[in-house]
A = this chain, B = another copy of it.
Amino acid sequence: MAQVPSSNILIRKLQTISELAEPDIAILGNARIEEKQYQANADILRDGDQPTLSFVVLDGMIGSTKMTGDGKRQITSFFVPGDIPDLHGLHLSVMDCTFTALMPSRVGFMRHDALRSICDQHPSITTVFWRSTLVDAAIYREWVTNVGRRDAYTGMAHILCELIVRLRAVGRIEDHVARLPITQAALGDALGLSTVHVNRVLQDLRRDGLISTVGSHFHATDWSGLVRAGDFDGMYLHQRAADVLRQ
């Protein structure tokens, strides 16, 4: 029905971290995907759920979030088009976090039993999926460090660098201009900061000529400066060499 199958972006993302064999690409391309649109701040899966579906991000951005007992929110990771945020649901029956759309987003659902049968029949795809969850874990590790040991200015620059590299890898931004209608509140929840402080840190980054913002457009005006300011080394994203060189 769709000229551009929604599995395309999934395949592209997986290719940024693994080499995919032709037959595997065909298998993944034929996977049945049910598309659905979400508004900003809509929950897709909730902490405590026992889902029978996983989803791939097609457009927009999804956050994996956790709430503390006193109602504060932490975003533990961003997920951009091509990512399968809840692939772990395939093997962990109860969700330990909530997936929320951080901007208007389109996602594609895939049935767990279908994914499991693909994995059973194609061990090489199992490896690719496993690797994808391992890269997610590597990103979590970096976020612990970012939140625990970097100050607000450095952490903000870091997280922006990560977003730009990941979006570039799947062709969603050119150069270092990102259309990122992400709220300052979301950035704060990602970095463990208040929205007020996020605002001030963004002003500092603008003052230093590292970024500029025009409405929801977000621009890294000094990429190497931003990388330096953010103490950023994208190695933890484990992208294939070919993709890294394309940066």
What is A's interface to B at a CB cutoff of 8 Å? Answer: 48, 64, 66, 68-70, 72-74, 76-77, 88, 91-92, 94, 96-97, 120, 123, 126-127, 130-131, 133-138, 140-145, 147-150, 154, 191-192, 231, 235-236, 238
- By beta carbon, the residue of chain B nearest A71 is B149
Residue from B73, B127, B133, B236 within 8 A of A137 (CB atoms) = B133
Q: Are B138 and A92 in contact (CB under 8 A)?
A: yes
- A235 neighbours in B (Cβ, 8 Å): 48, 94, 96
Cα–Cα, bound, A148→B73 (Å): 9
The quantity of this chain's copies bound in the complex is 2
Nearest CB on B from A35, distance (A): 26
Cα–Cα, bound, A96→B137 (Å): 11
- Known A148-B191, A192-B149; contact A142-B238, beta-carbon cutoff 8 A: no
Cα–Cα, bound, A133→B231 (Å): 27
Nearest CB on B from A115, distance (A): 13
Question: Per DSSP, are chain A's interface residues mostly helix, strand or loop, or mixed?
Answer: helix
Q: Are A133 and B133 in contact (CB under 8 A)?
A: yes
- A136 neighbours in B (Cβ, 8 Å): 137
Cα–Cα, bound, A32→B147 (Å): 39
Identify 20 residue pairs between A and B in the complex whose beta-carbon atoms are under 8 Å apart, listed by A's number: A66-B142, A66-B144, A68-B150, A68-B154, A69-B231, A74-B145, A76-B141, A76-B144, A77-B141, A88-B134, A91-B127, A92-B134, A92-B135, A96-B236, A126-B130, A136-B137, A140-B140, A140-B144, A144-B147, A148-B191
- A72 neighbours in B (Cβ, 8 Å): 149
Q: Are B131 and A92 in contact (CB under 8 A)?
A: yes
- Known A133-B133, A149-B192, A150-B68; contact A96-B138, beta-carbon cutoff 8 A: yes
Cα–Cα, bound, A15→B96 (Å): 20
Cα–Cα, bound, A238→B48 (Å): 12
Q: Are A145 and B68 in contact (CB under 8 A)?
A: yes
Cα–Cα, bound, A141→B66 (Å): 8
Residue from B70, B91, B130, B137 within 8 A of A140 (CB atoms) = B137
